[in-house]
Structures are given as C-alpha cells and as structure tokens.
C-alpha cells in the first residue's frame, strides 16, 4: 500500500459521501462536479473517476429543486454537464420503473417530463458556462476519458 492507494480510497470515500448532492459543501472541495438529470450516469462516472484518484461530486438537476448556491461559486472548468437523447432516456427510465415495480402513475418517464428536465438542465449548463457531454450510447470509460481531459486542461490553465 502506497500513497496512490490511499488517494484512491479517499477519492472513493469522497464520491460516496457527495453522491447525488447529499451535502452541497462537498461541491467546493471536488476536483470535478458532474451535473445532469436522473439516469445520465453521474454516479457510475463519479466512481470511475474516483478510482483514478479524482474527487468527483455529482448533483441531480430537478426542475422543482434549485441547485445549491455552491454550484454557482465554482469555476465553470470544474463543472461538467451530462445530457442524453430523450428517447433513450425514456427507455432507460421505463426499465428503471419496471425494476422498481412502479410502472403506473409516474410521470418520471413521460416524454413531456423528460423534455422539461432536459430543457431545465440545458439552462443550468448555459448559466454556469460548463462543458457538456452527451452520454447517449457511450460507455462510462469513454465519457470519463473526456472528463479527465477537461480536468487536466483545467489544471494546466491554473498553473499558467
């Protein structure tokens, strides 16, 4: 066990502690903050990045709940917006509802609700000025590679 191991464990602990916006104070301590609507791979990406020693927090964007002010205090380079094709998102959400046994009475997977959520998320991305990545039909590793590139660019810019 070396320093690398302990940095990885600390990053995984961080990702778990600050998953799904549980504690907004973590946003200010993160190397990167992933934002997007439900089912855009925020948690799997946070865990993947954590295993690369990146402290990743993630925050779901829900129209009925304004993001915490901490999000707007971050430099745009530390925030990554995640988006997805609405029809694929609908399929994913319908499957999720089936697994949970909640097939009736939920607007979670309606086209109208998904359009509303994606529009809301896009407005937040634009307000922050963050990079966005479309996760449609992309492996976690592929999107994570792009996020790692953003983090490296940001670190390079900070050093001058």
Mean per-residue pLDDT over the chain, rounded: 95
CA separation (Å) from 62 to 55, 66, 87, 156? 23, 7, 18, 33
Whether the per-residue pLDDT at 104 is higher than 80: the answer is no
Beta strands across the sheet bearing 56-60: 56-60, 32-36, 79-83, 131-134
Identify the CATH number of the domain in which residue 65 sits: 3.40.50
Section 18-32 average pLDDT: 96
- Give the global pTM: 0.95
Query: What single DSSP character describes residue 63?
Result: T
Total of domains in the chain: 1
pLDDT of the residue at 18: 98
Domain enclosing residue 124, as ranges: 3-159
């Amino acid at each position: 066990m070396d320093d690398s191991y302990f940095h990885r464990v600390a990053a995984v602990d961080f990702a778990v502690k600050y998953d799904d916006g549980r504690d907004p104070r973590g946003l200010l301590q993160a190397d990167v903050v992933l934002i997007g609507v439900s089912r855009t791979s925020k948690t799997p990406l946070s865990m993947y990045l954590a295993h690369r020693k990146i402290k990743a927090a993630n925050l779901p964007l829900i129209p009925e709940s304004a993001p915490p002010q901490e999000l707007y205090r971050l430099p745009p380079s530390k925030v990554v917006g995640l988006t997805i094709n609405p029809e694929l998102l609908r399929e994913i959400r319908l499957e999720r509802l089936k697994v949970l046994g909640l097939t009736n009475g939920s607007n979670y997977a309606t086209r109208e609700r998904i359009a509303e959520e994606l529009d809301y998320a896009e407005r937040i991305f634009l307000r922050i000025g963050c990079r966005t990545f479309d996760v449609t039909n992309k492996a976690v590793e592929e999107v994570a590679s792009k996020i790692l590139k953003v983090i490296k660019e940001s670190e390079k810019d900070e050093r001058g």
